[in-house]
Chains A and B, each alone.
Chain A
């Protein structure tokens, strides 16, 4: 179900207009408040719901993760680096909360300084790997800090469907 806006909560700040990947959150021409211009093109990504500083945008949850008619609301707290969800069933008998980290380091503190890296040599240019990929995803490192792979975990891909 597409997003909708509680007009009395919206202050027309433009955060949802800015973030919508489908470019369907726009500003109403009469009230200068946000609204979903093209509900059938909304894929319920929740970007605008999370970006709205006033919790003025809501989405009716899909039946595949919560029963129809339940309330699914979210609060993304940038300063704490967490996201909190609350799913409340229509009859009020189930009221569930979830809190999860969305960052473990202050925002913007871990941006790779690519300009300081040396230019790739020919072997890197001809490789199927991306620039500096082994270094950043730590494929070349052994031990607990290296990236987990099937191989490092003693697993292998099997053919077919199995359980």
Chain B
């Protein structure tokens, strides 16, 4: 199963041209949905206005070189390792779904556009499994509605379009691939056809619902992380207080309560309210 390219057998029924056209349509839907989403929520306008506000409050000018290094560190930290998540389980689940999705989508596109590399079917299956592990873990346990709001796992809201279509796509893809490896044929009006149809429906929902789902977060989240870093670098800090070094004589002179109540070298206090997960519903 893992070594089989599931689209090879499918090409007997559906021509490669149709499959390639489907991939292109999905890419157009994502691009169009993201642009419509930006226009509808005015997110780009918000970012530019916020950037102007930060510029007005800036205490120093950030050079182009610094901006490039901030962009690189945003990619290396927030994008590649999802470092923005304060919850380790959410971060691991996000990394699994993110890299699973990239492997799954990239290998699908490469296989359909004729790349015959032997590793691609394996990457396709590994990607789908990673998507399932991260997606189901998130859906049943980590999702904030379940974890902090006390909602039941089966309660569906519009915010679930993205995650549900994501893990159902991967699940139906794996089942379809398994049935096909056992001799099933798409078009035989049996379970192979059913799961292939479910795979296509889930996949189309995932890419066609960008305007209504949170799919576009993969574009605006890195931009928000970069903007946050820029405000720290230019000193505006979104009007947040500074990050004080409690052992510094200057800080202690400015805030005498610190040495009086905490001593000259305040100790490490631990995680405070973060010692318990936020699930006291």
Contact = CB atoms under 8 A, between A and B. Distances in A.
A99 B149 contact: no
A13 B144 contact: yes
B240 A106 contact: no
Given A8-B46, A31-B159, A101-B257, A81 B148 contact: no
Contact of B272 (A29, A55, A107): A107
A82 B258 contact: yes
B266 A81 contact: yes
B115 interface: no
B158 A73 contact: no
Interface in B125-168: 143-145, 147-149, 157-159
B242 A84 contact: yes
Interface string A70-107: 01011100111110111010001000011111011111
A38 interface: no
Contacts of B229: none
Given A73-B239, A99-B244, A53 B86 contact: yes
Contacts of B238: 55, 73
Interface string A104-131: 1111110000000000000000000000
Contacts of A71: 239
A104 B265 CA distance: 11
A74 B278 contact: no
B279 interface: yes
A18 B86 contact: no
Contacts of A106: 267-270
B144 A17 contact: yes
**Residue of B238, B241, B242, B254 with highest tally of chain A CB at under 10 A:** B241
B274 interface: yes
B200 interface: no
Interface in A9-25: 9, 11-15, 17-19
A interface, over-half SS: loop
B149 A14 contact: yes
B251 A27 contact: no
Contact of B278 (A15, A31, A98, A105): A15
A57 interface: no
B269 A81 contact: yes
Given A13-B86, A32-B159, A78-B274, A97 B145 contact: no
Contact of A86 (B145, B241, B251): B241
B220 interface: yes
Interface residues of B, number: 53
A26 interface: yes
Given A11-B85, A13-B86, A103-B269, A30 B240 contact: no
A27 B271 contact: no
B159 A30 contact: yes
B159 A86 contact: no
B65 to A, nearest CB: 26
B255 interface: yes
A107 B34 CA distance: 45
Given A9-B224, A30-B212, A53-B86, A84 B241 contact: yes
Nearest to A83: B241
B214 interface: yes
A133 interface: no
19 contacts: A8-B220, A8-B221, A11-B85, A11-B86, A11-B90, A13-B90, A18-B280, A26-B149, A30-B158, A31-B159, A54-B84, A55-B238, A73-B238, A75-B243, A79-B272, A82-B246, A86-B242, A98-B255, A99-B255
4 smallest beta-carbon distances between A and B, as pairs: A14-B148, A78-B272, A18-B278, A81-B269
Interface of A: 8-9, 11-15, 17-19, 26-32, 51, 53-55, 71, 73-75, 78-82, 84-86, 88, 92, 97-101, 103-109
Given A8-B220, A9-B224, A81-B262, 6 more contacts: A14-B149, A14-B279, A17-B278, A82-B244, A106-B267, A106-B270
